[in-house]
Structures are given as structure tokens and as C-alpha cells.
Amino acid sequence: MRALITRSSLLLFATAMIALVVADNLKTAGANAMKLTSRKPESSMLKEGETPALPDIAEPNPLLAQWEGPYGGVPPFDKVQVSLFKPALAAAMSENLADVDKIANDSAAPTFENTIVALERAGQTLERVSTIYGVWGSTMAGPEFQAVQREMAPKLAAFNDKITQNEALFQRIEAVYNSPAKKKLSSEQQRLVWLDYTNFVRSGAKLNGTDKARLSQINQQLAGLFTKFSQNVLAEEDGQFVALKSEADLAGLPQSVRDAAAAAATTKKQEGWLISNTRSSVDPFLTYSDRRDLREKVWRMFIMRGDNGDEHDNNSTITQILQLRAERAKLLGFPTHAHWRLENSMAKTPERAMELMMAVWKPAVARVHEEVGDMQALADKEGAKIKIEPWDYRYYAERVRKAKYDLDQNEVKPYLQLEKLREGVFWVAGELFNFKFTPATNVPVAHSDIRVWQVADKTSGKQIGLWYFDPYARAGKRSGAWMNAYRTQERVNGQITTIVSNNANFVKGKPGEPLLISWDDATTMFHEFGHALHGLNSDVTYPSLSGTAVARDYVEFPSQLMEHWLSTPEVLNRFAVHYQTGKPIPQELVDKIKRSATFNQGFITVEYLAAALLDMKLHLAGDRKIDPRVFEKEALDELGMPHEIVLRHRLPQFMHVFSSDSYSAGYYSYLWADVITADAFGAFTEAGGPYDKKVAERLRKNIFSVGNTIDPAEAYRNFRGRDPKVEALMKKRGFPS
């Protein structure tokens, strides 16, 4: 995640966002988003009396220092105090602006070197500071830090605009872009010029002064609203829960869910057990609880986050965000926010994204009706005398899974130890990319739960990077799982060690006992590790084009692809071993998992796709004033949303879309990338299998190492020899194509 951003100078909005955080299930904290957009506005700062001076800090601010220590320097997580962020960001933004002014005011004629490359080198201090700021925002965001976020978000947005609206700078970029000398540059260099030019234009570089001022105002207002939105969701997730008071309230829950509920109660200083208002707590309860009344209660709490008509209600915030986005799109010359956002995506237009979504929507809805039919039949057979409601779906789906496939998720879990699977992903990285992971113990971390490994080439021993692993939930850490890049690979600033992290929210096991995870969690682990490998394999020259800094609808492709290796026999036999007996998972159980692979795909696809469709429809709606409650209902009615399913993210809690611009009009990206993913895995199966060395090398060379140095559609053709086809996706999900 990070990273990208900071390249400060360029990053601008659009692209910057791209790399943001690669967060899945993301429920992101506004902070991250901000991070990308970082640059600060001197003017607004001065107005508020916070000059670039460093207030109240006697010693030099450690966040501003070069990173020191092993591996070419590592982030000084051990020196962070929340009070250091404001002065560090202020000073780093000032330095960045000074760097940019120097480039803009250069008396020499503009060249690729003195303009484009110089921008790549600018703002390194801010890059370092905002990396750590982003880590705090996503994993250590206590109340004191949240106050800093609220104050800094608009300032960072304004800072961003200050760079993109620097006329002298843009004229130089434009001159390089239009210069005949451009043709002599390498293709990577030409793409960088194109990217800078496009990003500046997309951020308003060609607007007149009045429009630029209005644009900057909009961006600052949006930054404040994004932070407010995120903090409201976080407040409702932290503050609400359903208490389970007696054994009777636990009916149906497996031991692991009971243990997690007890641990959650202890954390909140409550007696007994409780279900927190987060997905990792709610979903298992809805899957296993025999208590239909409590399922409904928990379900209602969860789906109403941000929609309770109280001080944390997000509805009016959404209305404001949508209006500001629509106004900004118009200013920038686009019919809607969706058109603006998709311009440089792989899909290119909202229409193409909608077309794919609707092609999958119909068969997915048809499948849901079949799934509900199976569940209703089971309930009737048991004499339950109910009609399947949304709080019944996960519960009955699990029962049908058992009945149809004889597959009990709890039977699988003893074979899925977090630490063994970590060894498993390391092993896969060794097979596909020749990486070797070794613990690095001499590196400071933000919290004692975090561990670090160094990554080297297996054969040559050449150092490649560092991988930080932060697996456990804690207060102030956003839920979900995500990857973050602390330092991206590049060659402009000398040889550097790439630094990436994977983050998750597992509830810590009992001391001395291995932590067991679900099949879904194991899949997510491979997914996030795929993002990490995308960062670690990067082999480019310019930081703005590095690693995961690719189009939003392409960035999930490498990660989703990596999910396929979990179910390979090589991984299962070695790493899916029983936590007590050490025996590998029985083939019979693996076969059941495979046979049930397309089970419940109606539900999974529809709950996701409905949210993706609403995201796009909202951002195609133009500047009319939108009441989110009304819009949500009408749009779902129009789509024919099955009433047994609710959106994966209802609008008042849709962090992807309202905690920053990054996934706005972009939630479809997961489906888009999955089309490519399903098609790409076919290259392995058509060759020698998932570990075929030649295909793996093609994958590294054309996909994992190239970052954004090449158009993604072209990169894919180089790998596959043709464009992706949608058939593989339909087959993977078990839909007729």
C-alpha cells in the first residue's frame, strides 16, 4: 500500500490511489487513503499558525531521519510517538514542496532527466513519514491518532493539489510529453512520461485559476468527509456488540467460536461471551448459532453500521461525498465520477465494467434461487416452520454443505495451522520465484505481535527484501486483511531492499497452542501473500511504476491467482497437517473440498456483485442529490436482488467506496481481475501443472516483475498469447457460460 504515494510528486490522486493499499475485505481506515494523497498545503497550514517549524519537539524528529540499521535501513517503528506525526508531516511536506519548486523553476530547458526523473527523486522524506503514518492509521489508530488524522486529512489533500496545480511544473512535464526527444526514450521511460502527464491533467493541471481553487476546496472537503466516514464505522464496530450470557446462548457454536467470543468479552471487560460488530466475529456466529433470534440480532447490528440515525450515522456524509465527486468530475471534463475513475483502468469505461457485471449477475441470481430452494427444503424437512431470511443464509448453507458434500468445515480446520500455512506460502514462493525466507530478528516493529523475515534468492543468496507479518487483531487495527508496501523496489535512488507487509485479524490462540484457521482464511492468506510477491518480484527502474502500482482493476490479479496454489497437493500434503497428529489432510477430505468448490457461489457472487453494481450506479448518477437509503432500496429492487441476501457492504459502511477515492467506482475490480485470474491459471493447467517452471518464469517476467511499466492488457497478452476469456471464470464459479 503505501507507497505509491509518496512519490510524492506525482502521485497525484489518480494513480496514487491506485496503489494505495491493497486491502481486501477492506474496511479501510481513512488514514491510508490519505496517505496517498499526501502533500501539504502550505497556505492552509500557515493560516492555522502551524508553520513548517516543528512545534514542541526539542530533539530532531526521528520520523524525518533516514531509515537506519540493517537491510539498507528499516522503518523506525520503535521510535514512533503519535505527537511526532504532525510536525513530521508538516516538515516533510515543506521539503517536498521545495523539491518540486526547484524542479519547476529550473532555468535549464525541460528534459526527461531534469523534470520526470527529478520528480521521481523528490519527496523522499515525506514518503518515509507517510509510510509510518499509514501503518499507524491502519494498525495502531487509537483516539489520539484519530484526532491527528482528522486534522491532517484536508491538509494532505490540499498539499497534493499544490503540486498538481503548480503551473510551471506542469508546463515542463507537458514540454517533455510533447517533445520529439520522447521517442528516443525507452518504453518504460515513455510510459512514465505519459503517466505523469495524464495524472496531472486528470488532477486539474489544465484548469483555469478559479476552477483550480474550487477543485482544491472539493478535495479538502472530501478528505475530511472520508475520515469522518471511516471513523464512524470504526466507532460502531468498536462500540457495539451482542452479549451472550449463558450456555444456551452458545448453542451450536464450535469451540473455536466460543473461545473467540470469550476472548472478545475479556478484551471489553465483560462477563461471559460476546459477538463484536466485525465481520470476523459476526460471520462465524451466523454460520453456526442454532439460536435464530440471536442470529437476527447479530445480523441487524452488523448490517446497520453507520445507519443508526445517531452521531455516527453516515447517510448525510455519503450524500455530500457523492455531490462533491460529481462536481469534481464535471470540472475535470468527465460526464461522471465513474468515467473519470475508469479512464486509465483496464476496463477503460464504466459501460464495459457494467457489461461484465451484468453478464455474471443473471446466472448468479439464478443460482441463489437454487441455493435457497435447497435450504428451504432442508428447513422444511426438519420441521423448522420458517422461511429463509438473510440471517438464516449462512447457517443453512453450512447445513446443506454437510448434507450435500458431507463436508464439515470444522473437520478441515485442525489441518490448517496458521504457522504451517505461512511455511506453505514461503515454499510456493520458492518454487515459483526461487525465493527463500529467513527470520530477521534485528528489525524494530510497531507491536510485539509483528514478525519479520528477510527474502533472498534461493540460488544466489542475493537479498531481495523484507516481509513483515502482523497477523492478529487488536484495538485500533482495522479489520480485514491487506498488504502494504513500506518501501518499493526501484533503481533511481540506488539499490534498495523492498519492504512489504501482510496484515490480518486472527484472534490469537491460547498460549502454546497452534492457531487454527478456516479454509477461507487460508485462501485469504495466499491472496495477500500474492500481493506481497507482486511487490517483491518488482524489477523496474522508476518508483512510480513499481510493484503493485498498477491499475485498480488489475492489481487483484496476481493476488487472486496465488489463491490457486493452496489447494495443490504439494501444499496440502506438506503443510495442511493435523495440529496433533502431524498427519497430512486425508485425500478424501481434499476431494470433498474440491467437489464443493462451486458450492454457495450464488451467495458469494451476489452479495459482492450487488455492492459492486451499486457502487457503479451511484457514481454514474451525476450530480442529483442522493438519499442513500432510498437509492439502495430502489437500485436493488431494479436489479432483482434476492431478498434472502444483503449487500456485502451496505452504503453507510462501504469503506472501499467512501473512506477514500481509491475503490470508488472500482469495487468491480475484484470481478474484473478474477476473469483474468481464472483464465491465467489455465496456462498452468494446460502446461505441466501449477509448478511448471516455464509458465512460472513467463508469469514472473510478464506479470509479477513489470509493475506499471507496460499496459496491463499488453502484459497479459505477452504472458498468455491472447486476451483473457470470461469462460474460465464462469466455470470456476459453476455458472453456465
Q: Which is nearer to Zn ion, 371 or 556 (CB)?
A: 556
Q: Which is nearer to Zn ion, 24 or 607 (CB)?
A: 24
Contact 67, 77 (CB under 8 A): no
Give dist(CA 249, CA 446) in Å, integer.
Answer: 37
Q: Which one-letter DSSP state was computed for residue 491?
A: S
Q: Which is nearer to Zn ion, 398 or 563 (CB)?
A: 563
Give dist(CA 134, CA 128) in Å, integer.
Answer: 10
Size of interface with Zn ion, in residues (CB under 5 A): 3
Give dist(CA 395, CA 371) in Å, integer.
Answer: 12
Active site residue 528: yes
List binders of Zn ion among 521-560 (CB under 5 A): 556, 559
Q: Which is nearer to Zn ion, 85 or 482 (CB)?
A: 482
Q: How far apart are CB 483 and Zn ion at their closest, in Å?
A: 7
Residue nearest to Zn ion (CB): 24
Contact 704, 533 (CB under 8 A): yes
Name the CA dihedral angle for 302, 390, 353, 215, rounded to a multiple of 10 degrees: -30
Q: How far apart are CB 100 and Zn ion at their closest, in Å?
A: 32
Give dist(CA 12, CA 193) in Å, integer.
Answer: 14
Of 140, 127, 28, the residue nearest 82 (C-alpha) = 140
Q: Which is nearer to Zn ion, 558 or 628 (CB)?
A: 558
List binders of Zn ion among 486-505 (CB under 5 A): none
Q: Which is nearer to Zn ion, 32 or 125 (CB)?
A: 32
Q: Which is nearer to Zn ion, 115 or 559 (CB)?
A: 559
Could you tell me how far CA 295 lies from the centroid of its own chain? 29
Q: Kindly give the pairing relationship between strand 463-472 and strand 498-506.
A: parallel
Give dist(CA 368, CA 639) in Å, integer.
Answer: 14
Q: How far apart are CB 279 and Zn ion at their closest, in Å?
A: 15
Q: Is 618 exposed, middle or buried (0-12, 13-18, 19+ CB in 10 A)?
A: buried
Q: How far apart are CB 23 and Zn ion at their closest, in Å?
A: 7
SS3 310: coil
Q: Which is nearer to Zn ion, 24 or 127 (CB)?
A: 24
Give dist(CA 355, CA 88) in Å, integer.
Answer: 46
Give dist(CA 598, CA 73) in Å, integer.
Answer: 46
From residue 527, how far is each of 47, 319, 674 by CA, in Å?
Answer: 45, 34, 12
Q: Is 707 exposed, middle or buried (0-12, 13-18, 19+ CB in 10 A)?
A: buried
CB neighbours of 293 closer than 8 A, spacing ≥ 6?
A: none
Of 680, 452, 691, 464, the residue nearest 559 (C-alpha) = 680
Q: How far apart are CB 479 and Zn ion at their closest, in Å?
A: 15
Q: How far apart are CB 142 and Zn ion at their closest, in Å?
A: 26
Contact 3, 549 (CB under 8 A): yes
Give dist(CA 691, CA 685) in Å, integer.
Answer: 9
Contact 196, 119 (CB under 8 A): yes
State the angle between helix axes of 315-331 and 628-639 in degrees (0 to 180), rounded to the nearest 10: 80
Q: How far apart are CB 84 and Zn ion at their closest, in Å?
A: 31
- DSSP E strands in 327-390: the ranges are none
**Residue whose entry in the numeric block shows the C-alpha cell 446497520:** 304
List binders of Zn ion among 18-47 (CB under 5 A): 24
Q: How far apart are CB 466 and Zn ion at their closest, in Å?
A: 20
Give dist(CA 550, CA 535) in Å, integer.
Answer: 11
Q: Is 410 exposed, middle or buried (0-12, 13-18, 19+ CB in 10 A)?
A: middle
Q: Which is nearer to Zn ion, 452 or 483 (CB)?
A: 483
Q: Which is nearer to Zn ion, 544 or 559 (CB)?
A: 559
**Residue whose entry in the numeric block shows the C-alpha cell 449462512:** 394
Q: Which is nearer to Zn ion, 112 or 663 (CB)?
A: 663
Q: Single out the catalytic residue among 95, 528, 556, 607.
A: 528
Of 436, 422, 435, 482, the residue nearest 704 (C-alpha) = 435
SS3 65: coil
Contact 261, 243 (CB under 8 A): no
Q: Which one-letter DSSP state was computed for residue 180?
A: G
Give dist(CA 642, CA 736) in Å, integer.
Answer: 19
Q: Which is nearer to Zn ion, 19 or 606 (CB)?
A: 19
Q: How far apart are CB 19 and Zn ion at their closest, in Å?
A: 12
Give dist(CA 538, CA 459) in Å, integer.
Answer: 18
Q: How far apart are CB 527 and Zn ion at their closest, in Å?
A: 6
Q: Which is nearer to Zn ion, 24 or 95 (CB)?
A: 24
DSSP-assigned states of every residue in 78-138: GG--GGGHHHHHHHHHHHHHHHHHHHHT-SSPP-IIIIIIHHHHTTHHHHHHHHHHHHHHH
Spatial strand order in the sheet of 435-439: 22-24, 481-487, 498-506, 463-472, 451-457, 435-439
Of 421, 405, 392, the residue nearest 576 (C-alpha) = 421
Q: 303-342 mask for Zn ion (x: CB under 5 A)?
A: ----------------------------------------
Cell triple for residue 384?
Answer: 423448522
**Residues with a known catalytic role:** 528
Q: Which residues bind Zn ion (CB under 5 A)?
A: 24, 556, 559
